[in-house]
Amino acid sequence: MTFDEMLTADKDPRTPYRTYHEWYSGQDPVRLVAKSRDAENIFRKTGITFAVYGHADSSEKLIPFDIIPRIISGREWRRLAQGIEQRVLALNAFLDDIYHKQEIVRAGRIPARLIERNEAFLPEMIGFRPPGGVYTHIVGTDIVRTGEDQFYVLEDNARTPSGVSYMLENRETMMQMFPELFQLNKVRRVEDYPHLLRQSLASLAPPGCKGKPRVAVLTPGIYNSAYYEHSFLADMMGVELVESSDLRVIDGKVKMRTTRGYEAIDVLYRRVDDDFLDPLTFRPDSCLGVAGIMDVYRAGNITIANAPGTGIADDKAIYSYMPEIVEFYTGRKALLENVPTWRCSEPDSLKYVLEHLEELVVKEVHGSGGYGMLVGPAASRKERAAFAAKLKAQPSNYIAQPTLSLSTVPIFVNKGMAPRHVDLRPYVLVSDKVQIIPGGLTRVALKQGSLVVNSSQGGGTKDTWVLED
């Protein structure tokens, strides 16, 4: 039975939605259709797009936006926030440990091979501690719901979590189109995110920083699928958006070209993957990074957010050990549960997965964006057979999970409301404190019955409301 977040089995609105439902019931459907078109036009004029790699048509696409908000009560949010904070602190402690004493490995809680053979583990980070001891400055924790009080963490995005610009633009669009709704409902603010992000990043400037820290956003450039977000965040924070050609290492500092000559950067919010960050340390053919930046970093003369090597914390094989990781570093059971996970690297698990492919979702351990996965119940026999061959060839590349009955929230269609499956990505800022933005990005599967919410796979987004008590 799928949990409907808005309506009970008797079709009565649940408590968080009562005020909205009453408002909606009094609306002219023709007006709402017009408003939905207006929202699309706002997104088109603003240029809120993304690119889908690997498609014949790789042009920029408009991300679909739905005008019915997803509403979360204050009580529900407090529970989520406590679980997210616990998890984020555990992830940061885990990263510090594996690049230093590896006590969790010595204690036998995680196999050594999972660290040593992991392509996201960077030997260059061994023995180095970032400014403030923070590795994961910005985290996006993907959460799914299956019941009134049943929430699961689907994955942890600890490298360069994307989508926060959609969260902000969704709120701006809703406030522009339906100002009366924000007078009727006490909705917590998300608009402070850029200010909080800059404040959080600046607070972790390297020890040698003199005066006000200079922050910049490093983008791979206009052809990156998330370029809109990079430029949006730099603009909203009031900092420079830079590419590799704007930067060079001079006198042991990373400096940015300006009209006054080269000036030092203290904090670099990079949206470039580890492999491309420094051609002298990683891929020598990279034109997206800064030659020598890792030497500057290890000398303590710049803060890089998120820290290089954080990718191992959102590896899906590591994810399967998160209950042990949380308990090891916090001394308490995880407040938010993992989705049950089979590690295909283990023979018994692989056997089970191969025998139950039609029931499971199988994912690449380093995959993201909905790519490289099999949704067993929706796949054909031929597709499952082809995937089984991949699993047998490289079992350690995959994990499998049951097909959860994700909760639904209504979307607006021409005939009114229709339920669709959703997930939630709250955004977390880590410095000397943990700040969780009240809401996040709700992604919605626009196709009836679909469980895949990624925009690259046809999903859309909604504004997410967290109500004041």
In a domain, residue 362? The reply is: yes
Question: Same domain, yes or no, for 349 and 410?
Answer: no
Classify residue 377: in a domain, yes or no: yes
Same domain, residue pair 41 and 152? yes
331 & 383 share domain: no
Sign of CA dihedral 167, 171, 177, 181: positive
If asked whether residues 349 and 334 sit together in one domain, one would say no
Considering Cα of 231, then 233, then 239, then 242, what sign does the dihedral take?
negative
Whether 135 is covered by a domain: the verdict is yes
Residues 368 and 315 in one domain: no
The whole-number pLDDT of residue 53 equals 47
Residue 225: per-residue pLDDT: 83
Q: Which of 351, 386, 402 is the last residue of a domain?
A: 402
Helix 381-393, helix 347-355: angle, nearest 10: 170
If asked whether residues 31 and 111 sit together in one domain, one would say yes
User: Both 75 and 99 in a single domain?
Assistant: yes
**Domain carrying residue 385:** 342-402
Looking at 352, 386, 402, the residue that finishes a domain is 402
In a domain, 315, yes or no: yes
If one counts the domains in the chain, the total is 2
| Per-residue CA distances from 360 to 122, 326, 373 (Å) | 32, 26, 10
Residues 100 and 171 placed together within one structural domain of the fold:
yes
* Domain membership flag for residue 96: yes
Q: Which pLDDT value is given to residue 59?
A: 54
In a domain, 54, yes or no: yes
Q: Is the pTM of this model over 0.95?
A: no
- 120 and 100 both lie in a single domain: yes
Q: Residue 453: CA atoms inside 13 Å, Cβ hemisphere, count? A: 23
pLDDT for res 51: 55
- Compute the distance between CA of residue 371 and CA of residue 442 in angstroms, rounded to an integer: 19
Q: Say what the pLDDT of residue 208 is.
A: 85
**In a domain? residue 122:** yes
Q: What is the DSSP string of 70-127?
A: EEE-HHHHHHHHHHHHHHHHHHHHHHHHHTTT-HHHHTTSS-HHHHHT-TT--GGGTT
**116 & 162 share domain:** yes
Cα 335 off chain centre by: 19
Domain end (from 402, 425, 451): 402
pLDDT for res 456: 66
Tokens of 272: 């470039």
Q: Are 362 and 391 in contact (CB under 8 A)?
A: yes
23 and 124 inside one domain = yes
Q: What CATH number did the domain enclosing 351 receive?
A: 3.30.1490.270
Q: Are residues 147 and 189 in the same domain?
A: yes
Identify the pLDDT of residue 447: 87
**Residue 64 one-letter amino acid:** P
pLDDT in tens, the chain (469 residues): 899 999 999 999 999 999 999 999 999 999 999 999 999 888 888 776 555 545 444 456 678 899 999 999 999 999 999 999 999 999 999 999 999 999 999 999 999 999 988 889 999 999 999 999 999 999 999 999 999 999 999 999 999 999 999 999 999 999 999 999 999 999 999 999 999 999 999 999 999 898 999 999 999 999 888 899 999 999 999 999 999 999 999 999 999 999 999 999 999 999 999 999 999 999 999 999 999 999 999 999 999 999 999 999 988 889 999 999 999 999 999 999 999 999 999 999 999 999 999 999 999 887 655 567 898 888 899 999 999 999 999 998 899 999 888 999 999 998 889 999 999 999 999 999 999 999 999 999 998 888 778 766 678 999 999 999 8
Residue 271 lies in a domain: no
> Can you give the three-state secondary structure of 330-362, one letter per residue?
HCCCCCCEECCCEECCCHHHHHHHHHCHHHEEE
Angstrom CA distances, 314 to 88, 118, 366, stand at: 11, 12, 8
Q: Which one, of 405, 322, 299, 321, lies nearest residue 361 by Cα?
A: 405
**pLDDT for the residue 60:** 61
